Amino acid sequence: MQKIISTEKIPIKMWLDEPEEGALKQAINLANLPFAFSHICLMPDTHQGYGMPIGGVLATNNVIVPNAVGVDIGCGMCAVKTNICADEMKRKQLTDIMSGIRALIPLGFDHHKERQDESLMPQGYNLDELVIVKRQYLAALKQLGTLGGGNHFIELQRSGDGFLWIMVHSGSRNFGLQVAEYYNKKAKKLNEIYYSSVHPKADLAFLPFETDEAHLYYQEMKYCTEFALANRKLMMERIQMVVASVLDNMVFEPLINIAHNYAAWETHFDTKVIIHRKGATSAKLGEIGIIPGSQGTKSYIVEGLGNPESFMSCSHGAGRVMSRSAAIRNLNLEEEKSKLDALGILHSIRGKSDLEEASSAYKDISQVMEFQKDLVKIKVELSPLAVIKG
């Protein structure tokens, strides 16, 4: 931990030097919520979000806050180790793999033309009770196994001991956005009716668990989180098919998965609370997780240390230092392309819009990892060989 702010209703504990002004203002809003529990956590990748900082962890007493989960509910990472020596791969093999992936997995706003196998969807839910899930269900069948846009990516990577790894970062597609917006509006209306003390401009409308709306949001959020995992798993299966078609005698180790942008009932400091992780991931003792870098930088397979002060959480990535619009305005396209080219990384940076996810728009991942040495320990260091952006 780097710093504690003790001037608010509850402390703000930070695993970074100085958060940006907007993120700090949002953290102060969190620290003064009447239902916030114990303290607020800011991970080393913290930057300003909508309502709550991305990279923030909030514990609450018997309420749930849609904007403290975010719009891409259940977004997360999957990684798989292979038995292939990355240094023995030829450039053409990498190129063929990336072409095969693009042929099978829709990117950005693209969806499959046909509905995917319904048995892959989350099971055990009564869809008639889930307003948004039921409404979006048929559309989601065409979104299953698609990457999406923004900072979502597929990477082929080389581990420190020379093996080829596959990594996927993606979320719940349109499900998460629709659920987040619907229940945030519900929360705002309820808060108006009951004269909530939470200022509307803070964008932290909440749902008490005494209400049906809170229970319905929790169920729809869980569905989105499970759908996001199903989405990543299907993509990973198809990526493995492509890799196995190019490389002989493939062996894939079990999938590693970790999610961010969700809330869950957990016990901390002998109290059962709702933990909101927005751009933060679980790091319980011994738990294996994934912390990706930005495009062209290292990623990490980590093991949680179960630090109670962070509510057993860690960062979900490097974290932005400039907004997407600022990146397009301020970064040089040729410079960013040449950085990746110099490292020998296959990429698809073509136009100014691709600068949104350039490595210069993000924090230094090595510094991010240094700041959270008391939260996780590094098990595997991964360097990118080829990247596909959403």
pLDDT of 372 > 90? The answer is yes
pLDDT surpassing 80 at residue 150:
yes
Give the pTM. Answer: 0.94
Q: Which helix (H) or strand (E) holds 274?
A: strand 271-278
Nearest alpha-carbon partner for 82 in 231, 325, 252, 319: 252
**Nearest CA-CA partner of 104 in 237, 255, 253:** 237
CA distance 153 to 311: 28
* CB atoms near residue 102 (< 10 Å): 15
pLDDT digits (tens, 9 = 90+) for 66-94: 999 999 999 999 999 999 999 999 999 99
Question: Mind giving me the DSSP string for 10-51?
Answer: S-EEESSS---HHHHHHHHHHHT-TTB-S-EEEEEEEE--SS
Residue 198, pLDDT > 90, answer no
| Dist CA 77 CA 263 (whole Å) | 17
Q: What is the mean pLDDT of residues 190-208?
A: 87
Per-residue b or e along 16-39, where b marks 16 or more CB atoms closer than 10 Å to that residue's CB: beebbeebbebbbbbbbbebbbbb
DSSP label at residue 259: E
Positions marked active-site: 316
Q: If you average pLDDT over residues 202-219, what whole number do you get?
A: 96
- Residues 6 or more apart from 61 whose CB is under 8 A from it? 35, 36, 37, 271, 273, 274
d(CA 180, CA 220): 9
Structure tokens given for 330? 């301020």
Q: Can you tell me the mean pLDDT for 292-320?
A: 94
Phi, psi of 157 (to 5 degrees): -135, 160
What local confidence, expressed as pLDDT, does residue 349 receive? 66
Is the pLDDT assigned to residue 202 strictly greater than 90?
A: no
Contact (CB, 8 A) for 271 and 37: yes
Residue with tokens 């260091």: 381
Q: How is residue 62 annotated by DSSP? A: S
Lowest mean pLDDT among 44-53, 123-132, 340-349: 340-349
269 Ramachandran zone, left/alpha/beta (phi>0; psi -120 to 50): left
Q: Residue 279: what pLDDT?
A: 96
Q: What is the mean pLDDT of residues 9-24?
A: 95
Region of poorest pLDDT, from 136-140, 148-152, 253-257: 148-152
- Taking 3-state DSSP, the helix, strand and coil percentages for the chain, each rounded to the nearest 5, stand at 35, 25, 35
Percent of the chain topping pLDDT 70: 99
Share the mean pLDDT of the chain. 93
With a cut of 70, say whether residue 336 has pLDDT above it. Answer: yes
